[in-house]
Amino acid sequence: MTATKGLEGIVAAASSISSIIDGVLTYRGYDIDELAEKASFEEVAYLLWHGKLPTRSELDALNAQLGEYAAVASDVIAGVRLYPKDTNSMAALRTVVSSLALYDPEAGDMSREANIRKAVKLQAQLPTVIAAFARIRQGQEPIAPKKGVGIAHNFLYMLTGEEPAEVAVQALDKALVLHADHELNASTFAARVTVATLSDIYSGVTSAIGALKGPLHGGANEAVMVMLDDIATVANVEPYIQNKLNNKEKIMGFGHRVYKNGDPRAKHLQMMSRQLGELNGDMRLYEMSVKIEDLVTGQKGLKPNVDFYSASCYTMLGIPRDLFTPIFAISRVSGWTAHILEQFEDNRLIRPRAEYVGPVNQRYVPIAQR
Ligand code: ACO
Whole-complex ipTM: 0.97
Q: Ligand 1 in contact with 252 (CB < 6 A)?
A: yes
The Cα 229–Cα 226 span in angstroms is: 5
Q: Whose alpha carbon is nearest atom 39 of ligand 1?
A: 216
Q: Cβ(300) to ligand 1 under 6 A?
A: yes
Closest CA to 276 of 310, 316, 308, 311: 316
Report how far ligand 1's centroid is from the alpha carbon of 213 (Å). 16
Active site residue 256: yes
**339 and 188 in contact (C-beta within 8 Å)?**
yes
Query: Considering its fold, how many domains does the chain have in total?
Result: 2
Q: What is the pLDDT along the chain (370 residues), one digit of tens a residue?
A: 899 999 999 999 999 999 999 999 999 999 999 999 999 999 999 999 999 999 999 999 999 999 999 999 999 999 999 999 899 999 999 999 999 999 999 999 999 999 999 999 999 999 999 999 999 999 999 999 999 999 999 999 999 999 999 999 999 999 999 999 999 999 999 999 999 999 999 999 999 999 999 999 999 999 999 999 999 999 999 999 999 999 999 999 999 999 989 999 999 999 999 999 999 999 999 999 999 999 999 999 999 999 999 999 999 999 999 999 999 999 999 999 999 999 999 999 999 999 999 999 999 999 999 9
Q: How far apart are CA 304 and CA 262, in angstroms?
A: 7
Q: Is residue 362 part of a domain?
A: no
CA of 251 to the centre of ligand 1 (A): 8
Residue 175 shares a structural domain with residue 36: yes
The gap between the terminal CA atoms of the chain, to the nearest Å, is 33
pLDDT at residue 319, as a whole number = 97
How crowded is residue 226: how many other Cβ atoms within 10 Å of its Cβ?
14
Residue 333 lies in a domain: yes
Q: What is the pLDDT of residue 260?
A: 86
Alpha helices, H only, the chain: 32-38, 41-50, 56-69, 74-81, 89-100, 112-136, 151-160, 166-179, 186-195, 201-212, 220-231, 237-246, 266-280, 284-300, 306-316, 324-345
Query: Coil, strand, or helix at residue 151?
Result: helix
Q: Among 256, 268, 282, 339, which one carries the catalytic annotation?
A: 256
**Cα dihedral sign for 312, 335, 114, 202?**
negative
My answer on whether 168 and 23 are in the same domain is yes
The CATH number of whichever domain residue 256 belongs to comes to: 1.10.230.10
- Domain containing 166 equals 16-214+325-345
Contact 195, 343 (CB under 8 A): yes
Torsion of Cα atoms, 349 then 355 then 359 then 362, to 10°:
40
Query: What is the Å distance from ligand 1's center to 83 Cα?
Result: 33
Q: Domain holding 196: CATH number?
A: 1.10.580.10
Task: Please give the number of the atom of ligand 1 that sits closest to the Cα of 263.
Answer: 48
Same domain (yes/no): 160, 230: no
Please work out whether the CB of residue 216 comes within 6 Å of at least one atom of ligand 1: yes
Atom of ligand 1 nearest to the CA of 8: 29
Asked if residue 237 lies in contact with residue 288, where contact means CB atoms within 8 angstroms, the answer is: yes
Distance CA 66, CA 99 (A): 19
Atom 27 of ligand 1: nearest residue by CA position: 257
Q: Is 302 in the pocket of ligand 1 (CB under 6 A)?
A: yes
Q: Out of 20, 187, 216, give the residue to mutate to test ligand 1, the one with the largest number of ligand atoms within 8 Å of its CB.
A: 216
Q: Is the CB–ligand 1 distance for residue 301 below 6 Å?
A: no
Closest C-alpha to ligand 1, atom 28: 257
Q: Which residues contact 309 (CB under 8 A, 6 or more apart)?
A: 253, 266, 269, 270, 272, 273, 289
The reported pLDDT for the residue numbered 270 is 97
Establish if 359 belongs to a structural domain.
Answer: no
- Asked if residue 159 is part of any domain, the answer here is yes
pLDDT at site 1 = 85
Q: Which of 307, 322, 339, 346 is catalytic?
A: 307
Residues 95 and 226 in one domain: no
Cβ(251) to ligand 1 under 6 A?
A: yes
Residue among 254, 269, 302, 306 whose CB has most ligand 1 atoms within 8 A, to mutate: 254
CB 327 within 8 A of CB 335: no
DSSP three-state, residue 210: helix
In a domain, 370, yes or no: no
363 located within any domain = no
Same-domain check for residues 208 and 227: no
Same domain assignment for residues 258 and 208? no
- Buried/exposed code over 229-252 (b: 16+ C-beta within 10 A; e: otherwise): eebeebeebeebbeebeeeeeebb
Tell me, yes or no, whether 165 and 61 share the same domain.
yes
Q: Measuring from atom 13 of ligand 1, which residue has the nearest CA?
A: 250
Shared domain for 163 and 239, answered yes or no, is: no
Residue nearest to atom 14 of ligand 1 (CA): 250
Name the residue of 189, 240, 248, 257 whose CB sits within 8 Å of the most ligand 1 atoms, as the mutation to test its pocket: 257
pLDDT, position 120: 98
Q: Which residues contact 32 (CB under 8 A, 6 or more apart)?
A: 24, 25, 26, 177, 178, 264, 265
Ligand 1 pocket residue status of 253, Cβ below 6 Å? yes
pLDDT at 152: 98
Question: Are 147 and 232 contained in the same domain?
Answer: no
Q: CA 337, CA 345: separation in Å to the nearest integer?
A: 12
Tell me, using a 6 A CB cutoff, whether residue 217 lines ligand 1.
yes
Residue of 319, 128, 265, 126 whose CA lies nearest to 208: 126
Question: Could you tell me if residue 352 is inside a domain?
Answer: no
50 included as an active-site residue: no
156 and 90 within one domain: yes
- Residue 282 domain flag: yes
- 263 and 209 housed in the same domain: no
User: 71: which DSSP letter?
Assistant: S
Domain shared by 295 and 331, yes or no = no
